[in-house]
Amino acid sequence: MIHERHDLWRRAASYAERMHRGQFRRDGETPYAAHPMRVALTVASVFGCDDPRALAVACLHDVIEDTTADYEDLLNLIGKDIADDVAALSKNPALPSALREAAYDEVLEKASWRAKIVKLADVIDNMADAGHGDEESEVSRGRRERLIDRARRAIDIARRDPAEPLAPAAEIAEAALRRFKAR
């Protein structure tokens, strides 16, 4: 069982690193793969969740949205449950941008607790990442407001789900949001 759990995490992390290779965060220097790994670390270390599927989803959460990988690739690599959760964390590019966020929230609302806990870790990492440097020059007011709005929606969605690990994770995300807004 321990070997299977380690194998799931290892395959997910390795695939995410490979798919995000050559991509960088907004600063133009940090390899993009650092983001999903930090999200996984937040799920494990900050939220105290050692569920191997949740950690795999954390590693893979941006591969459908930001790489050439698709649902079928994840289905074949790691299975339906994880592929479904990663798909739930991926915005639909076919929708007009005005409808995309609402559709995303609808899907996330119905998704597993694993997808929701990963989303909370994702918004925490995005706020932390955006908080580095001079706020006025590094993060536009519009981007800052979008980050606050996304965090608020993710927290609200998580709070409506009675799954055990979500309540403390939502509280931690709420505290991170308060700190971000205070900067």
Structure confidence at residue 168 (pLDDT): 98
- Residue 68, pLDDT above cutoff 70: yes
With 0-12 CB in 10 A as exposed, 13-18 as middle and 19+ as buried, what is 66?
middle
Torsion of CA 173, 177, 118, 10, to 10 degrees: -90
pLDDT digits (tens, 9 = 90+) for 2-57: 556 668 989 999 999 999 999 999 889 999 999 999 999 999 999 999 999 999 99
Torsion of CA 135, 136, 137, 142, to 10 degrees: 100
Residues 6+ apart with CB under 8 A from 11: 56, 77, 78
d(CA 145, CA 101): 14
Structure confidence at residue 14 (pLDDT): 97
pLDDT digits (tens, 9 = 90+) for 85-140: 999 999 999 999 889 999 999 999 999 999 999 999 999 999 998 866 555 544 57
Residue with the two structure tokens 């205070």? 182
Structure confidence at residue 130 (pLDDT): 87
pLDDT digits (tens, 9 = 90+) for 130-172: 866 555 544 578 889 999 999 999 999 999 999 999 999 999 9
d(CA 34, CA 114): 20
Which domains, ranges and CATH numbers included, belong to the chain?
2-182 (1.10.3210.10)
40 touches 59 (CB < 8 A): yes
Catalogue the active-site residues. 65-66
Q: What is the mean pLDDT of the chain?
A: 93
Residue with the two structure tokens 């290779």? 21
Q: What is the pTM of this model?
A: 0.93
Structure confidence at residue 4 (pLDDT): 60
Structure confidence at residue 35 (pLDDT): 98
Helices then strands (H, E): number in the chain?
A: 11, 0
Lookup: tokens for 116 = 């929701």
Q: How far apart are the first and last CA of the chain?
A: 44
Structure confidence at residue 136 (pLDDT): 54
Lookup: tokens for 46 = 């900050």
Structure confidence at residue 131 (pLDDT): 66
